[in-house]
């Protein structure tokens, strides 16, 4: 065998080993990501239980707590971001992603309800946005709407934005849709109980908010 | 097809080629070449310096040749003025009294005619070429000459790097040239070279007489001669410690023009007169490995770049559409703190990173083998950030030129 042929064979072996190592590293990192998703799942379970407990406690003394607000904090927003990223990476039909979305949606609904109850009992005026989207390919403007809401939430942290996949098969979500009477015309928004459908621009969306709601000093939390 | 999927086979081939280079670098012929002593046999040498409008550098180039550590009576320097229109003749005249220097003036006919005029005027056994914008280390010739001990060796190449790189682009070229030192040293050990570059390549005079003078070679006379040497069954060696420094283009426009000439010359030579070398089994290193890989590199560079450009454009348009009135400041606002969760774990991206890392390693190896002085940090950074983005510019330009039959002027 010539030197060139021998070296080519060795190089082929190295190439296979390198490619296999890269494939292993990618699989390892993806597995670690899935493991983190499991941690998110646990976190969501704890947060849901915590919110339930908070809900019960506030029934007796709604406005005495130092936190006349709920836990839907930046931590949960971070969970939502990771969930969204995982959905993009693993696909919207991935079982774990669907399960996480359901848990996250439940948590959001609980937070929404407690926020409303606190507002009624304590006289606060939080600005809440229920945002219904679909990523089943039947909502051309949902990406734009989601991006605009991300911007609004980042710019005005006091806004309480709750995003729901309209097509998610979750009883509580279906009930919320029925109770709020949101039609299947997506994207759909319920801004402080006022319905708004479709998305054209950020400016048009901003017009739907109550006067003074889009202020960095909104004391709604 | 997505750029990633398109890149996959080419990345595998790139990793295979780099692995092959690494293995060959450690094989006995390359090790023997590195261990070669620099004793000087009594052999006459003429170095031809073809000049066309090189008034600013010819004197310095000639002085570096005069400083070569080689018996004076055996070394002749032939400056050939190829019909310069600037002060080159006057600059040459200042060197005419030196006993080792001979000056030839002729009408402009192209670099190959200047080289042929110089060769015709000497009986030296070994003929060297040095571009008039290049400078050599004093021991460079002593490194070159022992390579001719094997009678089958018809040409020997040197170890090129960039002369005093000044900007980011020149540092990038310096890293690329030093990468070339590793490649040239490795491939020479299996006779896989297809170019004998203008800066300080040497030829056995008797072989050149046998296979013929330099030709235009689609404006790449050094490549055409190397391919002709290979076709005739001779060998091309490399002296990895024969350091020569050449001036590199300072601007992107000049660089693209230079490389377009090189790439179109390669395509025209290899796909034209020397097509028979591709796939030939009597020189499997060149025919089965080096030339096909070089051709694939052109194809892959164009395909991956074009495909990535289309994808980038579509994504940008989509991103702008999604923006829908959101201020641009939000898009470019400070990103969130690093979270590994969002680290893209893409197979193709990891393969690309592996290819790049091995390339950087081979650059460092080239610097060590050749003992090239200077700091490589900026070179490695600029190579990483710039190289893959600008190479497609000349690959596309050259391929278009060859396809439509367009011929550009040298300068």
Half-sphere exposure of B399 (CA within 13 A, CB side): 15
- Considering Cα of B83, then B86, then B90, then B94, what sign does the dihedral take? negative
CB-based contact B224:B269 (threshold 8 Å): yes
Dist CA B247 CA B230 (whole Å): 28
DSSP B207-229: HHHHH-----TTT-HHHHHHHHH
Distance of CA A86 to the CA centre of its chain: 11
Nearest residue, CB atoms, A19 vs list B12, B190, B322: B12
Q: Choose the closest CB to A4 out of B19, B289, B345.
A: B289
* Per-residue 3-state assignment (H helix, E strand, C coil) for chain A: CCHHHHHHHHHHHHHHHHHHHHHHHHHHHHHHHHHHHHHHHHHHHHHHHHHHHHHHHHHHCCCCCCCCCCCCCHHHHHHHHHHHHHHHHHCCCCHHHHHHHHHHHHHHHHHHHHHHHHHHHHCCCCCEEEEEECCCCCCCCHHHHHHHHHHHHHHCCCCEEEEEECCCCCHHHHHHHHHHCCCCCCCEEEECCEEEECCCCHHHHHHCCCCCCCCCCCCCC
Peptide bond preceding A172: is omega within 30 degrees of 0, i.e. cis? Answer: no
Under an 8 Å CB criterion, which residues of A touch B? 2-5, 7-8, 10-12, 14-15, 18-19, 22-23, 25-26, 29-30, 33, 36, 82, 85, 143-144, 147-148, 151, 154-155, 199-203
Return the number of other C-beta atoms located less than 10 Å from residue A212's C-beta. Answer: 10
- A100-156: pLDDT as tens digits: 889 889 888 988 888 888 788 777 788 889 999 988 888 888 888 888 888 888 888
Instruction: Answer whether B181's CB lies under 8 Å from B273's CB.
Output: no
> Domain for residue B230, yes or no?
yes
ipTM: 0.89
How far is the alpha carbon of A150 from chain B, nearest alpha carbon, in Å? 10
How many inter-chain contacts (A to B, CB under 8 Å) are there?
A: 88
Task: Give the C-alpha separation, A162 to A109, whole Å.
Answer: 8
Of the pLDDT bands very low, low, confident and very high (cuts 50, 70, 90), residue A218 is very low
Q: Is residue B29 part of a domain?
A: yes
Nearest to A7 among B15, B20, B354 (CB): B20
In sign, the C-alpha dihedral spanning A149, A154, A159, A162 is positive
In the prediction, which pLDDT does B335 show? 60
Count of Cβ atoms closer than 10 Å to residue B409 Cβ: 7
Does the pLDDT of residue B398 top 90, yes or no? Answer: yes
Backbone angles phi, psi at B239, to 5 degrees: -110, 100
Angstrom distance (rounded) from CA B119 to CA B228: 17
Name the closest residue on chain A to residue B340, using Cα atoms: A33
The residues, ordered by sequence, that sit 6+ positions from B4 with a Cβ below 8 Å of its Cβ are: B346, B348, B349
How many whole angstroms separate alpha carbon A173 and alpha carbon A48? 15
* In a domain? residue B132: no
What does residue A127 show for φ and ψ, rounded to 5 degrees? -100, 115
Asked if A11's CB is within 8 angstroms of B23's CB, the reply is: yes
- Sheet with strand A188-191: strands edge to edge: A160-165, A128-133, A188-191, A194-197
- State which residue of chain A sits closest to B188, comparing Cα positions: A4
Average pLDDT over residues B24-34: 96
Query: Tell me, which fold does domain A127-221 have in CATH?
Result: Glutaredoxin (3.40.30)
Share of chain B above pLDDT 90, in %: 81
Task: Tell whether B207 is covered by a domain.
Answer: yes
Q: Which domain holds residue B224?
A: 14-35+150-292
Given a cut of 60, whether residue B275 has pLDDT beyond it is yes
Q: For strands A188-191 and A194-197, give the pairing.
A: antiparallel
The answer to the question of residue B309 being in a domain is no
Nearest-by-Cβ selection for A19 from B190, B323, B351? B351
Using the Cβ of B345 and the Cβ atoms of chain A, whether some distance falls under 8 Å is answered with yes
Interface membership of B342 toward A (CB under 8 Å): yes
Q: How confident is the model at residue B282 (pLDDT cuts 50, 70, 90)?
A: confident
Mean pLDDT of chain B: 93
Question: Over the range B67-82, which residues count as b (16 or more CB within 10 Å of their CB) and which as e?
Answer: ebebeeebbbbbbbbb
- pLDDT score of A219: 43
CA distance B384 to B399: 24
Cα–Cα distance measured from residue B209 to residue B191, given in angstroms and rounded to the nearest whole number:
21
B114 part of a folded domain? no
Q: What is the DSSP letter of B160?
A: E
B179 touches chain A (CB under 8 A): no
Closest to B29 in 3D by CA, of B195, B194, B238: B238
Convert A119-140 to b/e letters by CB count within 10 Å (16 or more is b).
beeeeeebbbbbbbbbbeeebe
pLDDT of residue A221: 40
Q: Do residues A22 and B11 touch, judged by C-beta distance below 8 A? A: no
CA distance A165 to A181: 15
Residue B56 lies in a domain: no
Domain total for chain B?
A: 1
Q: Round to whole Å and give the CA distance between B25 and B151.
A: 23
Q: Does the CA dihedral B145-B148-B154-B158 come out positive or negative?
A: negative
Nearby residues of A207 by Cβ (< 8 Å), 6 or more positions away: none
Cα separation, B152 vs B137, in Å, equals 26
Q: Give the predicted TM-score (pTM) of the model.
A: 0.83
Q: How far is CA B86 from CA B68, B83, B91, in A?
A: 28, 9, 10
| Tens digit of each residue's pLDDT (9 = 90 or more) over A80-91 | 788 888 887 777
Q: How far is A72 from A128, CA to CA, in rounded Å?
A: 12
pLDDT, tens digit (0-9, with 9 covering 90-100), for B243-254: 999 999 999 999
- Kindly report, residue by residue over A10-69, the tens digit of the pLDDT: 999 999 999 999 999 988 888 888 788 788 778 778 877 877 787 777 767 667 654 545
B283: closest chain A residue by CA: A4
Residues in a beta bridge with B81? B51, B105
Average pLDDT score over residue span B195-201:
96
Instruction: Report the C-alpha gap between B362 and B18 in whole angstroms.
Output: 9
pLDDT at site B1? 64
β-pairing, A128-133 with B153-162?
Answer: unpaired
């Amino acid at each position: 065998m010539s030197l060139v042929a021998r070296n080519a064979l060795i190089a082929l072996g190295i190439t296979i080993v390198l490619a296999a190592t890269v494939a292993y590293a990618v699989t390892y990192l993806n597995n670690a990501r899935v493991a983190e998703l499991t941690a998110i799942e646990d976190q969501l379970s704890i947060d849901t239980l915590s919110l339930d407990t908070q809900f019960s406690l506030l029934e007796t003394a709604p406005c005495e707590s130092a936190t006349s607000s709920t836990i839907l904090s930046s931590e949960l927003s971070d969970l939502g971001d990771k969930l969204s990223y995982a959905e993009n990476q693993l696909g919207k039909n991935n079982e774990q992603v669907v399960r996480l979305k359901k848990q996250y949606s439940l948590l959001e609904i609980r937070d929404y309800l407690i926020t409303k109850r606190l507002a009624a009992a304590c006289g606060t005026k939080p600005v809440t946005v229920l945002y219904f989207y679909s990523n089943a390919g039947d909502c051309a403007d949902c990406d734009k709407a989601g991006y605009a809401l991300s911007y609004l939430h980042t710019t005005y942290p006091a806004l309480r934005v709750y995003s729901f996949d309209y097509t998610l098969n979750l009883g509580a979500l279906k009930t919320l849709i029925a109770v709020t009477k949101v039609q299947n015309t997506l994207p759909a928004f319920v801004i402080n109980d006022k319905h708004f459908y479709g998305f054209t621009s950020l400016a048009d969306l901003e017009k739907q908010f109550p006067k003074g709601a889009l202020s960095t000093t909104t004391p709604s939390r | 097809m997505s750029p990633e999927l398109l890149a996959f086979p080419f990345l595998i081939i790139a990793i295979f080629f780099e692995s092959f280079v690494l293995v060959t670098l450690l094989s006995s012929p390359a090790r023997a070449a590195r261990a070669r002593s620099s004793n000087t046999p009594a052999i006459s040498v003429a170095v031809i310096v073809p000049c066309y409008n090189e008034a600013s550098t010819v004197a310095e180039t000639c002085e570096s040749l005069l400083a070569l550590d080689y018996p004076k009576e055996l070394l002749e320097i032939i400056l050939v003025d190829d019909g310069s229109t600037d002060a080159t003749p006057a600059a040459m005249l200042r060197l005419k009294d030196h006993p080792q220097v001979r000056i030839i003036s002729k009408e402009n006919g192209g670099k190959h005619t200047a080289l042929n005029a110089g060769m015709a005027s000497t009986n030296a056994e070994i003929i060297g070429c040095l571009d008039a914008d290049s400078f050599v280390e004093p021991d460079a010739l002593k490194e070159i000459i022992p390579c001719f001990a094997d009678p089958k060796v018809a040409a020997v190449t040197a170890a090129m790097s960039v002369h005093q790189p000044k900007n980011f682009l020149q540092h990038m070229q310096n890293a690329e040239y030093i990468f070339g030192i590793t490649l040239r040293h490795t491939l020479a050990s299996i006779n896989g070279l297809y170019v004998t570059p203008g800066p300080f390549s040497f030829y056995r005079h008797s072989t050149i007489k046998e296979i013929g003078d330099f030709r235009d070679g689609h404006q790449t006379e050094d490549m055409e001669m190397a391919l002709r040497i290979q076709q005739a069954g001779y060998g091309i060696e490399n002296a990895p410690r024969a350091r020569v420094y050449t001036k590199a283009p300072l601007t992107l426009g000049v660089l693209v023009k230079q490389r377009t000439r090189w790439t179109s010359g390669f395509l025209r030579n290899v796909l034209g007169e020397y097509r028979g070398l591709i796939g030939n089994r009597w020189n499997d290193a060149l025919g089965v490995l080096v030339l096909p890989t070089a051709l694939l590199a052109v194809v892959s560079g164009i395909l991956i770049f074009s495909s990535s450009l289309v994808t980038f454009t579509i994504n940008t348009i989509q991103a702008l559409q999604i923006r829908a009135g959101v201020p641009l400041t939000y898009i470019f606002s400070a990103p969130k703190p690093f979270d590994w969760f969002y680290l893209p774990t893409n197979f193709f991206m990891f393969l690309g990173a592996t290819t790049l890392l091995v390339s950087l390693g081979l650059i460092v190896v080239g610097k060590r083998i050749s003992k090239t002085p200077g700091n490589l940090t900026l070179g490695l950074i600029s190579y990483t950030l710039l190289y893959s983005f600008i190479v497609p510019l000349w690959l596309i330009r050259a391929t278009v030129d060859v396809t439509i039959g367009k011929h550009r002027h040298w300068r």
